[in-house]
């Protein structure tokens, strides 16, 4: 289910204070990057991803692929940073960025 504008607004305000937990570089979406994506989304629900890729179209394609593979929703893209959200039904409230910053 896509995010509502109210949810996006709330997640953007939470994401503003987050540091990137995942970095994608010129090697692209390697097996290690995808494993870390899965772990980060499972633990934190809302994560910030930094993409050290110069080409804008390539960067946006990588973001779309991250969302597709991670079954996540894109909240926001600013420059080389993307904010990604995936609901976790068995959430750890001490790790979840959504629950910690509400």
Burial class (CB in 10 A: 0-12, 13-18, 19+), 24: buried
Q: How far is Cα 22 from Cα 12, in angstroms, rounded to an integer?
A: 17
- Rounded to two decimals, the pTM is 0.91
φ/ψ of residue 73, rounded to 5: -105, 140
Rg of the chain on CA atoms, in Å: 13
Per-residue pLDDT reduced to its tens digit, 28-70:
899 999 999 999 999 999 999 999 999 999 999 999 999 999 9
Measured at the CA of 56, the angle between CA 73 and CA 74, to 5 degrees, comes to: 5
DSSP conformational letter for 17: T
């Amino acid at each position: 289910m896509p995010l509502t504008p109210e949810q996006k607004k709330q997640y953007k305000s939470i994401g503003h204070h987050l540091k990137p937990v995942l970095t994608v570089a010129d090697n692209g979406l390697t097996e290690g990057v995808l494993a870390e994506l899965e772990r980060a989304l499972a633990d934190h629900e809302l994560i910030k991803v930094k993409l050290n890729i110069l080409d804008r179209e390539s960067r946006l394609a990588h973001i779309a692929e991250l969302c597709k593979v991670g079954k996540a929703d894109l909240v926001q893209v600013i420059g080389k940073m993307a904010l990604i959200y995936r609901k976790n039904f068995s959430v750890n409230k001490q790790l979840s960025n959504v629950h910690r910053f509400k």
